[in-house]
Amino acid sequence: MDTKKEVLDILNDLTGEDLSDRMDENIFENGLLDSMASVQMLLSLQEKFGIDVPVSEFNRAEWDTPAKIVAKVESLENE
């Protein structure tokens, strides 16, 4: 499974935008994701990758760019 591609597919579904060439763009500051979309993103990532990310432990600063999301998912997959 290509983690980067799968994460970008989820983000594309949520934002309606291809972020593959904007991996370091802050998706919260630019208004692509809000708190409700964050929850949907976490649920989609949990379902797709079998990882556990409790919303109560979600730190927006660790998930604010596509690159950080890919890195976080990869680290959680390896736990």
CATH number (2.60.40.1080, 1.10.10.10, 3.30.1520.10, 1.10.1200.10) of 3-78 reads 1.10.1200.10
pTM of the prediction? Answer: 0.93
Q: What is the token pair recorded at 32?
A: 């692509």
Instruction: Kindly report, residue by residue over 30-41, the tens digit of the pLDDT.
Output: 999 998 999 999
Give the long-range contacts of residues 44-52, CB within 8 A, separation 24 or more.
44/10, 44/13, 44/14, 45/7, 45/10, 45/69, 45/73, 48/6, 48/10, 49/1, 49/3, 49/6, 49/73, 49/76, 49/77, 50/77, 51/76, 51/77, 51/79, 52/76
User: What residue segments make up the domains of the chain, in order of their start?
Assistant: 3-78
Proportion of the chain above pLDDT 90, given as a percent:
85
DSSP one-letter code for 55: G
